[in-house]
Amino acid sequence: MPSALEPTLSTIGSIRFKRLRFGVIALGTLVILTFALSSAYDAWRSYGYALTATDREITNTANALAEQTAWTLQAVDLLLLDTAGWYRSDSAMIAPERLNSVLAMRTVAVPQVRQVIITDAQGNQRYSSLKTPPPLHNVADRSYFIAQQDGTANGMFMSEPLITRTEGHPAVEFSRRLEDQHGKFAGVVTAGVNLEDLTQYYRAVNVGIGSAIQLMRDDGILLARNPATPEAIGRGFPVLSAAATSAASRLVNPIDGKTDFIAVAPVRNAHLKLAVTRDAAVALQPWRDETFRVAVRTLILMLLGALTLAALLRQLRRVAAGEQALRESEQRYALAMEGANEGHWDFDLTTESVFLSAQMKILYGLSPDTRIDSRAEWLAKVDIHPDDQPRFETAVADHLEGRTGRYECEYRVRHPNGVWHWISARGRCLRDSSGKPLRFVGSSSDVTAQKQSHADKEQLEAQLRQSQKMEAIGTLAGGIAHDFNNILGAILGYGELAHQQSPAGSPIRRYLDNVMHAAERAQTLVERILGFSRSGLGDRVPVNIQFVVEETLELLEASLPAGIRLESRIEAGNAAVVGDGTYLHQVAMNLCTNAIQAMERGGVLGVVLDCTELYEPRALSRGSLAPGPYVRLSVSDTGVGIPPAVLERMFDPFFTTKGVGEGTGLGLSLVHGIVADLGGAIHVTTKAGEGTTFEIWLPVVGETTIPAVEAARALPRGTVKR
Amino acid sequence: MDIVIYEEDQLTRNLLREWLAEAGYGVRRGALDEAQCGRRADLVIASVYMPKQSGNGWLHDIQAAHPGTPVIAISGQFRSGLCRDGATAETLGVQQVIAKPLIRADLLAAVRAMIGKPC
């Protein structure tokens, strides 16, 4: 039978598992890495956005503020220009005490200017726009005066931040040159812009946390700053004013020492620059926070991913281990089943579906890949012996209906080749809580060999009993024959002596004749007893069996009853059987006589004699044969057949079916004794109403052409002539 | 001519004695110690009981008591129609076998054939 199990199965399973695990690890790692990379890319991108946004914001702010500042300063310049024009042309016509108020009126329109002061050519402040003018001072040493006096300012001049002498405020002074009618230097008109006001103005602009607005001269002198840093005002920070104006750059702000983004915008028509700075740390804080959150989220997700992967692998390993264990268990089970030559079956009563193992199908003589899915198919494909069918059905029904604790049944099934096999089935059904059967599971095995050996054993035991019985009878018969023959010897011997002495024709002689005759009959009986008991000792010579049978048939044909036809086929040739011709003659005669007697209403007496060769041992109904050449004498009748009870005992001595006095009951036992003595065996087949066939198998020993009976007759004989 | 008879059955023994004496032979009952006594015989007739089983041993004892003397074995268990000096005789190690019940003519013929007529 081809094994259904591959020894490499578990190896294949582990390779498959390793591949699967590798795939899961690779895929999981890929997913996690992709996720991490995508997060990193996002962070990088958002960093770029943060930079761009910051740049745009501070650049825009710087530009807007620079424009605003330009407008503011333009207003201041217009005021100074107008005032200078007015002073040259009209101031002479106005009383000097009214000049202050005229100046004040002019200044009202420009709120960013704190006060306008007119200073003469000597540097003495002459008029102020303030309603209550503070004490005036000489400012000939101030940069805004000197620049205009020298004519180097060439227009409006803006001073460095300074503390005004009139009010003591920190301020920036804007100056323009005053000229008389002849174009000669006549002093300066100055407009003071309070630095606090300027700073105040920038403070109103919300540029965001960490940001600062710096207004400075081109040379880096800081004019104003928000948030306010009074200590830095007036100091020069050329680094800031020189910073690139295009994109936002980063530098260390010398004012507060922090790393800042910076955008610098020139103020139109003024030698000023407006720088907006933003603390890089603050500017990037939202990005940092976001990135941190993303990083944390990514890490958590990666960790979760890794944990999931680990859990998946663990589960996979457990599943694989489970599968492996299951496979091993199944393999073990299948091997055990196969080793035990057992098949198993599983019948689901709720769905009528059926599972049969491959071995089970083999047990039924079906191909292992036969499809059997339902009980109907199962029963249709399996040919159960008609004699076993009721028993099988009863066993199943008894178990399903709960009358038996276990299902056990032995039945025969016919394989497709026609051979009957004994199947031993055992099983149990599983029930629900109410006792209703759900599944019916069990295993079966082929017990044909056991059954056969059991039957063989029983037959051997029967044969042993038979031979022991025959042995005992033989011993008994031997003793009887011995004593009888002595007695008969005396009767015959003295009878003969008396016979000799008696006068011929006298009644005494007639009496003695009868005594002798009776004694001879007794002698024949004893002879037969010796024959069946196999205790007698006779010579064995090669006998031509064909002559013996032909002779017997010749004798029979003469006295064949009407209605009985003889059909014979005698073709043993010169085959020789070692034995006693007389006995062989008796065998043939007894069998034929029995056959004729079995056909009271006529029929066919069949006698066949042929030679055959046995190549393996064969057990017949009486005795068994070793391989070798045999001659077979078959005597058949078309009579009533032999009932089993008779079949069992018909070879026993003194067993007869005839009435008292009609038969001795020694015929068949004599046949059996002779055949057994010659190393042969008997086979009987009978069918009620159809007839019986006796087959006598005798071992062939070479060939002979001399009829044994003749050979024996040629020699002097130790018996009286009958 | 002395013939020694080993026969347990008195009827048969007497019958043999009758026949052989009438034919002129000297007949006596045999004993297994005859060799020691120095007696000798011309023929031994021995009855064998159960020749298949114990016959051989019994015949050996008899032949030991009568070395060189021919033996005729008689038995109720020899089948009729037996060759006198055939396979059975050979098996038993005797010169002749005769089945019982004995026939006078057969017996005397056999004896004559072996040792000749009595002087």
Count of structural domains, chain B: 1
Confidence of residue A569 (pLDDT cuts 50, 70, 90): very high
Q: In this structure, what are the phi and psi dihedrals at residue A442, rounded to the nearest 5 degrees?
A: -175, -175
Angle formed by the axes of helices A545-558 and A581-598, nearest 10°: 40
- pLDDT for position A2: 44
B81/A538 touch (CB, cutoff 8 Å), yes or no: yes
* B99 Cβ under 8 Å from any chain A Cβ: yes
Confidence of residue A34 (pLDDT cuts 50, 70, 90): very high
* B79 Cβ under 8 Å from any chain A Cβ: yes
Beta strands A249-252 and A353-356, pairing class: unpaired
B79/A717 touch (CB, cutoff 8 Å), yes or no: no
Q: Suggest the residue from A539, A541, A582 to mutate for an interface test with chain B (most B CBs closer than 10 A).
A: A539
* B66 Cβ under 8 Å from any chain A Cβ: no
- pLDDT for position A715: 37
Give the rounded percent of residues in chain A with a pLDDT score beyond 90. Answer: 15
- pLDDT for position A711: 45
Domains in chain A (CATH in brackets) are 1-339 (3.30.450.20), 340-446 (3.30.450.20), 453-518 (no CATH), 538-714 (3.30.565.10)
* A711 Cβ under 8 Å from any chain B Cβ: no
Closest CB to B100: pick one of A486, A497, A582.
A486
CA B13 to each of CA A490, B6, B19, B25, B27: distance values in angstroms, whole numbers, following the listed order: 9, 8, 10, 14, 10
Q: Which has the closest alpha carbon to A241: A268, A210, A202, A272?
A: A272
Closest CB to A537: pick one of B15, B51, B106.
B51
A539/B82 touch (CB, cutoff 8 Å), yes or no: yes
Residue A307 reports pLDDT greater than 80 = yes
Closest CB to B15: pick one of A489, A536, A716.
A489
- pLDDT for position A719: 34
Least CA distance to A708: which residue of chain B? B81
Residue A305 reports pLDDT greater than 80 = yes
Distance between CA A605 and CA A626 in Å, rounded? 29
Closest CB to A716: pick one of B75, B100, B106.
B106
A580/B79 touch (CB, cutoff 8 Å), yes or no: yes
Residue A520: both structure tokens together: 């001879």
The listed range with the strongest mean pLDDT (A338-352, A452-466, A499-513, A531-545) is A499-513
* A580 Cβ under 8 Å from any chain B Cβ: yes
Contacts B52 to A, Cβ<8 Å: 535, 537
Contacts B51 to A, Cβ<8 Å: 537
- pLDDT for position A213: 86
CA B52 to each of CA A474, A533, A535, A717, B92: distance values in angstroms, whole numbers, following the listed order: 11, 13, 7, 21, 9
A482/B75 touch (CB, cutoff 8 Å), yes or no: yes
Q: Suggest the residue from A476, A485, A496, A717 to mutate for an interface test with chain B (most B CBs closer than 10 A).
A: A485
Residue A8 reports pLDDT greater than 60 = no
The answer to whether the CB of A554 falls within 8 A of the CB of A592 is: no
Residue A435 reports pLDDT greater than 70 = yes
* A527 Cβ under 8 Å from any chain B Cβ: yes
Angle formed by the axes of helices B104-115 and B10-23, nearest 10°: 60
- pLDDT for position A6: 46
Which range, of A140-154, B46-60, B96-110, averages the lowest pLDDT?
B46-60
Residue A58 reports pLDDT greater than 80 = yes
The answer to whether the CB of A217 falls within 8 A of the CB of A160 is: yes
Contacts B80 to A, Cβ<8 Å: 523, 527, 717-719
* B51 Cβ under 8 Å from any chain A Cβ: yes
Residue B13 reports pLDDT greater than 70 = yes
Which one-letter DSSP state was computed for residue A575? B
CATH of the domain at B10: 3.40.50.2300
Burial of A455 (0-12, 13-18, 19+ CB in 10 A): exposed
Which range, of A266-270, A280-284, A442-446, averages the lowest pLDDT?
A266-270
The listed range with the strongest mean pLDDT (A385-389, A661-665, A700-704) is A385-389
Contacts A541 to B, Cβ<8 Å: 86-87
Instruction: Work out the mean pLDDT of chain B and round it to a whole number.
Output: 83
Structural domain boundaries, residue B49? 2-115
Regarding predicted confidence, which is higher, A93 or A642? A642
Contacts B11 to A, Cβ<8 Å: 486-487, 489-490
Average pLDDT over residues A425-445: 89
Instruction: Work out the mean pLDDT of chain A and round it to a whole number.
Output: 83
Contacts A538 to B, Cβ<8 Å: 78-79, 81-82, 88
Distance between CA A226 and CA A244 in Å, rounded? 21
* A708 Cβ under 8 Å from any chain B Cβ: no
CA A562 to each of CA A239, A549, A565, A604: distance values in angstroms, whole numbers, following the listed order: 157, 21, 8, 11
Question: How many other CB atoms are there within 10 angstroms of residue A702's CB atom?
Answer: 11
Q: Suggest the residue from A533, A537, A706, A713 to mutate for an interface test with chain B (most B CBs closer than 10 A).
A: A537
pLDDT tens for A65-81 read 888 888 888 888 888 88
Which range, of A137-141, A384-388, A658-662, averages the lowest pLDDT?
A658-662
Contacts A484 to B, Cβ<8 Å: 76
The residues, any chain, with a CB within 8 Å of residue A470's CB and separated by 6 or more, are: A533, A534, A673, A676
Average pLDDT over residues A295-314: 89
Closest CB to A718: pick one of B87, B98, B104.
B98
Closest CB to B77: pick one of A491, A530, A582.
A530
* A716 Cβ under 8 Å from any chain B Cβ: yes
The answer to whether the CB of A719 falls within 8 A of the CB of B80 is: yes
Residue A683 reports pLDDT greater than 90 = yes
pLDDT tens for A101-111 read 888 888 887 88
Confidence of residue A699 (pLDDT cuts 50, 70, 90): very high
Q: Which has the closest alpha carbon to A185: A237, A240, A229, A122?
A: A122
CA atoms within 13 A on the CB side of A152: 7
* B88 Cβ under 8 Å from any chain A Cβ: yes
Average pLDDT over residues B30-38: 71
> First and final CA of chain A: distance in angstroms?
68
* B18 Cβ under 8 Å from any chain A Cβ: yes
Confidence of residue A373 (pLDDT cuts 50, 70, 90): confident
A493/B101 touch (CB, cutoff 8 Å), yes or no: yes
* A584 Cβ under 8 Å from any chain B Cβ: no
Q: Which has the closest alpha carbon to A545: A680, A345, A401, A407?
A: A680
Helices first, then strands: H and E counts in chain B: 5, 5
Closest CB to B104: pick one of A496, A718, A719.
A496
Confidence of residue A718 (pLDDT cuts 50, 70, 90): very low
- A334–chain B nearest CA distance, Å: 60
Question: How many other CB atoms are there within 10 angstroms of residue A40's CB atom?
Answer: 14
The residues, any chain, with a CB within 8 Å of residue B45's CB and separated by 6 or more, are: B3, B4, B5, B6, B7, B16, B71, B72, B74, B111
- B48–chain A nearest CA distance, Å: 9
Which range, of A270-279, A674-683, B108-117, averages the lowest pLDDT?
A270-279
